[in-house]
Structure 1
Amino acid sequence: MADQSSNQKKNNQFTIIKDDPNDGHDGYGIGSISLENMSSVIVDPNEDRAYVDMEAMHARSSVERRVKFQDDKEVVANGKLYWIVWVTTEKGENGPYFAGVGACEMIVDRSIKRAYKSMPEHVKHMEKSLKGQIIVDNMDDHSKKLLKDFLVDFEGGDMWKNSTNELKQALEVE
């Protein structure tokens, strides 16, 4: 009989491409992108919280489950707003920091089991986050504050302290 906690641990992991995808050969994997420094943060302005949900990397976050995605916002006009924020970390001379941030909206209407998100936007913002760009100007102030508070509090705040002024200014709200 298998250990159930061991099985649960495996289910919470995901496969990523680490280090150099070429690794000395020119076959399969050339041009692959490493996602080992990226995390997905869900910002839920409805519940006033932000949290890491790595399942969003595969479109299986707790918010995305059991809904069918549409590419028309009108279908979910009565839905709740969420943000998936692609956060890339790097290691600088002072230690790790938040290098790239790309926020993407998602609207979910559980009553009709439908949701909206723009897949091209998610891919674009994910790529920009990997390149160290900051994209949060599409977020409302309340959601920006939730994201900022989460990043500031994350692991004692050292990563926030080491982050760029560009990120800090982008998440300032009035």
Structure 2
Amino acid sequence: MNFDKKGKKNLSLNVVSNKEHKGFGAGMINLSQMSSMIIDGDKAYIDIGALHAKSKVEKGIKFLTDKEEVPNGRKCWVAWVAVDRNEEGSYYAGVTVCEMLIDEEARRGWKILADHVNKMDKALKRKFILDGLDDTEKTALRTALIEHNQEWWENSGDELKEGLSA
């Protein structure tokens, strides 16, 4: 708990924690089992910076809400990946994707922040939303998840595996 000079409680957002909260601060989002990946064409990689909109592809980009203002943008995706554990071990429990357009030359991009937040929430709630990915992007994400931890992939449910079959 943080206190100011007068001894009053300062509100602070604690988003990464592994302790159980009761009372003040209860119900905060726990991102300790959440990670973010970037899908950029035929490559997918972990980029934890996306949790704060500071991934490698997002840095230095001014984001707009009108897709038509980024006519030369290349399509990239943020994949929100939640990991859970059961009696068989850890597994990919929720995966959702959000589209972005990135024009590095113009330093402009397009994304809908509300969509990113809502999809992150859906992944935390153990949902799979992979709409919009083409076969190349599905293959890139599937490969990255398997290469990161094959056992987690094998322990994951059929919904994820079928959703990422190209």
Whether the TM-score (by the shorter chain) exceeds 0.5 is yes
Q: TM-score, normalised by structure 1?
A: 0.84
Any conservation in 1 of the 2:15–2:31 contact (CA below 8 Å)? no
Structure 1 segments, 4+ long, off by >3 Å, are none
Unaligned runs of 5+ in 1: 1-13
Cα distance in structure 2, aligned partners of 1:90 and 1:149: 19
**CA–CA distance in structure 2, aligned partners of residues 119 and 166 of structure 1:** 26
In the alignment, what sits opposite 1:142?
A: 136
Which of 17, 32, 38 is matched with 2:34 structurally?
38
State the partner residue of 2:115. 121
Residue 83 of structure 2 aligns to a residue in which SS? strand
Structure-2 residue corresponding to 1:71: 65
Contact 1:40/1:53 (8 A) holds in 2:
yes
SS of 1:65's equivalent in the other structure is coil
List per-residue Cα deviations over 1:24-46 (Å, max 9, x = no partner).
xx22x22211000000011110x
Q: CA shift at 1:98, angstroms?
A: 0.2
Displacement after TM superposition at 1:77 (Å): 1.3
CA distance in 1, matches of 2:21, 2:28: 6
What is the identity percentage for the equivalent residue pairs of Structure 1 and Structure 2? Answer: 41
Of 153, 163, 166, which residue of structure 2 is paired with 1:160? 153
SS in 2 for 1:103: strand
| Alpha-carbon distance, 1:15 to partner | 6.3
Aligned length: 153
Matched residue, 1:16: 16
Aligned to 2:10: none
Report the TM-score, using the length of structure 2 for normalisation. 0.88
SS at match of 2:85: strand
Q: Distance in 2 between matches of 1:21 and 1:72?
A: 40
Query: Counting helix residues as a fraction of each chain, which structure ranks higher?
Result: 1
Question: Shift of residue 19 of structure 1?
Answer: 2.7
How has the CA–CA distance of structure 1 residues 60 and 102 changed in structure 2, closer, same or farther, with 3 Å as cutoff? same
Within 2, Cα distance between the matches of 1:146 and 1:40?
14
